[in-house]
Amino acid sequence: QEYFYQKHRHQWMLTQAKVYRATGDESYILGWKEAYSDWLKKYPCPAGKTSQMQWTGLQASARAIDQPSIFQYFLRSENFTPEWLTVFLKAYHDHIENIIANWYEPETSNIRLSQQQAVTMAGILMPEFKDAASWLQTGTAAIGRQVTVQFNADGVQNELDPSYHIGVVADFYNIYRI
């Protein structure tokens, strides 16, 4: 089941973008556009509350966290056309709105923090969107609460898994860096 979830997080796309930047080989962006277009066609963003695994939990937030970097790596390609920019930006906007409509419960989960990180990043990195100010306000308010709800009184992350502790601290650090 975890493999099925991981498949929809698209974490391999960031590596593909980095290889494109290192090599300049246009086949990498063409492959990315084909794979991402196909995925968007097969799994269109649902409106409002959803239980579709592809659009809930870590799946949508992992994609949304990586997409600004993917965008930067591919942006200068001759194959990053205005038409593709429109597809990409619409999909990104849909991701953020979907995350907000589908907050993971409980709030103390590392998954919720990941979602809030994605929304905060979108508000910071994509100020051109009409919803960016709202995303930033929603995200920063939520992140402020997360600083206290993610950790027990002894300082250990509340899910009691050392890898989650490291991941949550990394999430806060990444937000701080941005």
Q: Which residue has the tokens 């899910």?
A: 159
- Six token digits for residue 123: 């508000």
Among the listed residues 141, 129, 58, the one whose alpha carbon sits nearest the alpha carbon of residue 91: 129
Among the listed residues 123, 141, 140, the one whose alpha carbon sits nearest the alpha carbon of residue 132: 123
Judge whether 164 counts as a catalytic residue.
yes
The two most distant CA atoms of the chain are separated, in Å, by 53
Answer whether 35's CB lies under 8 Å from 73's CB.
no
Contacts of 87 (CB under 8 A, 6+ apart): 37, 40
> Which residue out of 3, 73, 92, 164 is catalytically annotated?
164
Catalytic residues: 164
